[in-house]
Amino acid sequence: MKALTTAATGMLAQQLNVEVISNNLANLNTTAFKRQRPEFQDLLYQNIERVGANTSAQGTVAPSGLQVGVGVRAASTVRMMEQGGMDRTENTLDIAINGPGFFRIQLPDGQEAYTRGGSFQLDQNGGLVTADGFIVQPNIVIPQEARDITINQEGEVQIILDGQVQPQIVGQLDLATFANDAGLEAQGGNLFLETQASGPPNVAVPGTNGFGTVRQGYLERSNVNPVIEITNMITAQRAYELNSRVIRAADEMLNAVNSIS
């Protein structure tokens, strides 16, 4: 009885669905987190009578055929890259991206990663780094004697030193965009890596055509909608229960056959 294995694939698919939803909800308050959505495909079909097959010597054909499906499989988990809302933090080194783009981050092994989580800090040398100490590219160093830091919407970093009136430019932030943002590979820690699916990065200063701007003193919120996620979880749970009922029904049918004497 194929219903047993078919329903089992449905239960496995809904289990994955719940796991993705639970990860979305777990990151409800993660800065700039991008939710995922699982997508599924039906499995191969068993052709008992192939559609379009000849049904007589006179050339008549089967208009629909007879196919039996064998279940479902997970096709992909698509990352939804729409922008989250913004929270004002009043922190000088908190920077949010308004529009397309990613900050460039240099990993310890020299590889470049990308993030929209702009909760930055200064290291022991005054360099702009992430919470894990990874250097923000291009490398910007804030002098220790700086008494005020300003970052405008175009990513220009300015400081004011004691005894000075005019601000001094110490660096320029840039952003990277990709042809397919969803093709980036998540690494955890709010970091993504370039893949063949994402395409190479296109780097430019904020505010350039096709690039977002930056806002100092703000952080981007997660784009997870808890109401939608809870609704999806209820739907997945019901689908899981229905598939389990199919297995129970198939088991009862097999018991009925075995009891025939």
| Pair 90, 207 in one domain | yes
pLDDT of res. 165: 80
| Pair 93, 213 in one domain | yes
Sheet containing 168-172: order of strands: 146-151, 156-161, 168-172
Residue 147: φ, ψ to 5°:
-105, -5
Q: Which letter does DSSP use for residue 116 in this model?
A: S
Q: Closest by alpha carbon to 208, among 174, 158, 179, 157? A: 174
Residue 173: φ, ψ to 5°:
-75, 150
Give me the percent of the chain exceeding a pLDDT of 70: 100
Tell me the torsion sign for CA atoms 191, 196, 197, 203: positive
Is 56 buried (19+), middle (13-18) or exposed (0-12) by CB count in 10 A? Answer: exposed
Q: What is the average pLDDT across 140-150?
A: 91
The rounded radius of gyration (Å) of the Cα atoms in the chain is 27
Token pair listed for 20: 């993705």
pTM of the entire predicted model: 0.86
Q: What is the secondary structure of 2-54 as a DSSP string?
A: HHHHHHHHHHHHHHHHHHHHHHHHHTTTSTT---EEEEEEE--EEEEE-TT-B
| Pair 42, 136 in one domain | no
Q: What is the average pLDDT across 90-99?
A: 95
| Pair 77, 90 in one domain | no
CA distance 88 to 51: 61
Number of structural domains in the chain: 2
Token pair listed for 206: 């904020």
| Pair 15, 113 in one domain | no
Instruction: Provide the residue type at 27 as one letter.
Output: N
| Pair 101, 205 in one domain | yes
Domain with 176, as residue range(s), is 86-220
| Pair 190, 97 in one domain | yes
| Pair 129, 108 in one domain | yes
| Pair 212, 251 in one domain | no
pLDDT of res. 8: 95
CA distance 137 to 47: 56
Q: What is the pLDDT of residues 162-201, one digit of tens each?
A: 878 889 999 999 999 999 999 999 999 999 999 999 999 9
| Pair 91, 175 in one domain | yes
| Pair 182, 107 in one domain | yes
pLDDT of res. 261: 60
Give me the percent of the chain exceeding a pLDDT of 90: 79
CA distance 258 to 16: 34
Q: Which residues contact 222 (CB under 8 A, 6 or more apart)?
A: 27, 28, 29, 30, 31, 32, 33, 34, 35, 84
| Pair 25, 11 in one domain | yes
Say which range, 131-135, 139-143, 254-258, has the weakest mean pLDDT.
Answer: 254-258
CA distance 135 to 50: 60
